[in-house]
Amino acid sequence: MVGQQGFRIALILAATLLCSACDKPTEDEASRAGLSEKNFPQADEPYFKDMDNGVSLTPDQEQGRNMWLVWSGGNDRFWDTMGRPTLGGFDLLKIVAPPPGSDLQRGQRWKVLGLVNEPCFDAAASGDPSRFGLRLDVRRADCPPDPFANAQKYPGVKIGARGQTYKDGSMLPVGSYYGEPTGIVGLRLFTNPDFDEAAKAAWDPQRYYNDPAYYSNPNLVRPYRVGMSCGFCHVGPSPVNPPCDPENPQWANLNSTVGAQYMWVDRLFIIEPNKANFMYQLVKTYRPGSMDTSLVSTDNINNPRTMNAVYSLQARLEVGKRLGHEQLAGGEQNNRQFNDFLSEGWLTGLYRKPDQVWTPHVLKDGSDSVGALGALNRVYINIGLFSEEWLQHFNAVVGGKPITPFEIAVAEKHSAYWRATEQGTIKTAQFFLAAAKPDHLADAPGGDAYLSHDAAVLAHGREVFANTCARCHSSKSPKPPAELVVDGCNGPNYMSCFAKWWKWTQTDDYKRQMRDIVGAPDFLDGNYLSSDARIPSTLLRTNVCSPLATNALAGNIWNDFSSNSYKSLPSVGKVTLRDPFDGHAWSYTMPAGGRGYTRVPSLISAWSTAPFLLNNAVGPFNGDPSVKGRMAVFDASIEQMLWPERRLRDAELGDRVDGMIDRTDQRSFIMLPPHYVEQIRKVAGPAGEKLLDSLQDKDGFLRLGPIPQGMPVNLLANVQPLAESSKPEDLVEHYGQLLKLLVKIKGDLLTLPQDADDAALREHFADARAGLMALNKCPDFVVNRGHYFGTAQFNQTEGLSEDEKAFGTEPVLSDDDKRALIEFIKTL
């Protein structure tokens, strides 16, 4: 507990020092180089023609796929900076050019990192002198050149040292604005414009690979920067044409939109695992295929979520046309819409000037609600486009600075990359419309053997699905009674509208109509298998950290990308949480203003997308993308969903909580590299310097702690350093609580026995628990609870709040019902 507070305070100081150029108006590198969006047309080569099951694409759709897979929009600048607030633990250059002898080599890349190896490359045998001694993958001679690296057709941004000739006669190439391929799908290599003569003289590839004091120094200038395309988090092995060897796929074995469900984000962020480092303990909560998309623009909530698959966009947009009417205001109206690019067709009916949009809800909390193109454009900002501006609005990763909105109007004025992205995403959307088709088990090699051919069982499963699941997991539904058709439900009236709708879905008449719809031969045709609606946490009872995310609230970083309707959503009421120390139940009031909801995931190709829930916490992981491997995970995961008593339980509390809590698995410390310590010394003063001397180890690293084994990770990770309200009385209360907690922790530290074991440590700091809980932005620690529909646990209301009980009881499915339902879900 001492460690987390010291960690946050120290890193806030360090990040502030590193951000000396923050809060100043700026332009992106492309604009500073005198370029405009016209200098960045999207590539037209059909290089990826074998991907996505060989789908036939128009030239515009082909450009849209190329954009998705290779366009990084200048975010190589951003990813180059991320080694600083992550203390050198995160370094994409070391991912694409792994150290000798490490387990990050190409031949183990899939197994260890879950990253997709790009075809046409071999592993490096040694460091390449022509590439500054780095061990980059080598393109095979029997493959054609990568067309996107063509600097004549796609000339890059000449800025800084790019194009410079060094004293030794060598030159740093400008390259293409798509960079060069790295051997990993979705990562592209760019020369570093900061790699000038002095940086070249200081560069030592051996020390870069072997000396922590060298490579953790935030002033180190690497010769290359690595850019990231959207494909990095969305390309994966095709469910219906998987590779024989996932370490060596061919393009035909890959799909652009299934999601990187096998990626080990924790290993990606911490290259050198050290269980004694609390940062390692933190990222270990990221299960394979999940990551916290608000990690960088942090909201001080540890919130790993699965990387979305993109399926059946047309059907999803049609759901939005029916149910996703949202009101826009202010900067929200600056988002591009289909109407800006198309003059006719059904897509133009999704927007009405100046402030009405009909849209799906993309992020898991339902906040991306300004239109499909706005949601897509926001993704590029979130992976680093126009980082010159974005990083001015927060302290990356560590927080501690009030967050302000990233304004679209500013990006329009100052970022050529942003304007080029806006021009291209219409083509990416058109690519999705053509290519993001369901992957059916029946079409996978050997898939038929996993399907039931018993007509009675499948009919039974259809009926169970219609009665229990289809109200949320179908975009085809009965026409609601006139009294339920109320305009403006996506706003302050949402909970009252939802309650009436839910009650209607419990009626015999609704279920009869839904059984007819599900039983129709064309039920799956054009069905997104989701209502895309926002479901209140009081009904779902799943972990509430995602619904508590604050980035899209009014005045926060994504203010311009969430609708006014979202921002005016009411509170869902009180949810029941469990204390992580003794398991007792307590009620937590969910705030209003957008928080408290989870949009419904699609069940398209559910057989291939397990584990389940939004954090992949329900079900096992095996890393095998074959049909056999996917079905093994599906079978185990769907059983845990429908028989929640089979889910993993907490190692310390067992059945006293309804699931599992992420805890530290050994004693750990916050570790700051020597350079950070020296920067902190500059502002610490005499008393601070004395404290620093006592905390530095023999190598100059600062060790803050100890954090005992078995501590709930999110008790520390979710501590809120800043008040969210600007009301004077709220500020006094919040900072009074924070000061009281720090004084308590300081006192505990002074009386800590030198030889205390972990049990004694936990006991010693027991009196700080209440303060940590009070300042916790998400005090929900059970990660695999909820979604109890069709199970007896849904009707177990003991200890629940009145808001949770208000949804009534539901019929409990028998084991035969559940088995039949599983067989039907396999066909989706």
pLDDT digits (tens, 9 = 90+) for 409-463: 999 999 999 999 999 999 999 999 999 999 999 999 999 999 999 999 999 999 9
Closest CA to 621 of 640, 636, 643: 636
What is the model's pTM? 0.92
Q: How high is the pLDDT of residue 395? A: 76
- pLDDT grade for 365, boundaries at 50, 70 and 90: very high
Q: How high is the pLDDT of residue 748? A: 65
Task: Report CA-CA distances (Å) from 717 to 279, 299, 657, 686.
Answer: 10, 11, 21, 29
Is a pLDDT exceeding 90 seen at residue 745?
no
Q: How high is the pLDDT of residue 18? A: 40
- pLDDT grade for 110, boundaries at 50, 70 and 90: very high
- pLDDT grade for 280, boundaries at 50, 70 and 90: confident
| Residue linked to tokens 């021009």 | 423
| Token digits of residue 156 | 């890059």
- The more confident residue out of 10 and 751 is 751
Q: Which of 37-46, 679-688, 717-726 has the highest mean pLDDT?
A: 37-46
CA atoms within 13 A on the CB side of 756: 21
Is a pLDDT exceeding 80 seen at residue 644?
yes
> Residue 597, SS3?
strand
Is a pLDDT exceeding 70 seen at residue 13?
no
The percentage of the chain sitting over the pLDDT mark of 90, rounded to a whole number, equals 75
Between 23-27, 199-203, 554-558, 802-806, the lowest mean confidence (pLDDT) is in: 23-27
Q: How high is the pLDDT of residue 3? A: 37
Q: Which of 661-665, 724-728, 765-769 has the highest mean pLDDT?
A: 661-665
CA-to-CA distance for 764 and 640, rounded, in angstroms? 37
Instruction: Report CA 797 to chain centroid distance, whole Å.
Output: 33
- The more confident residue out of 674 and 537 is 537
> Residue 343, SS3?
coil
Scored b (16 or more CB within 10 A) or e, 754-792 reads: eeeebeebbebbeebbebbbbbbbbbbbbbbbbbbbbbe
- pLDDT grade for 657, boundaries at 50, 70 and 90: very high
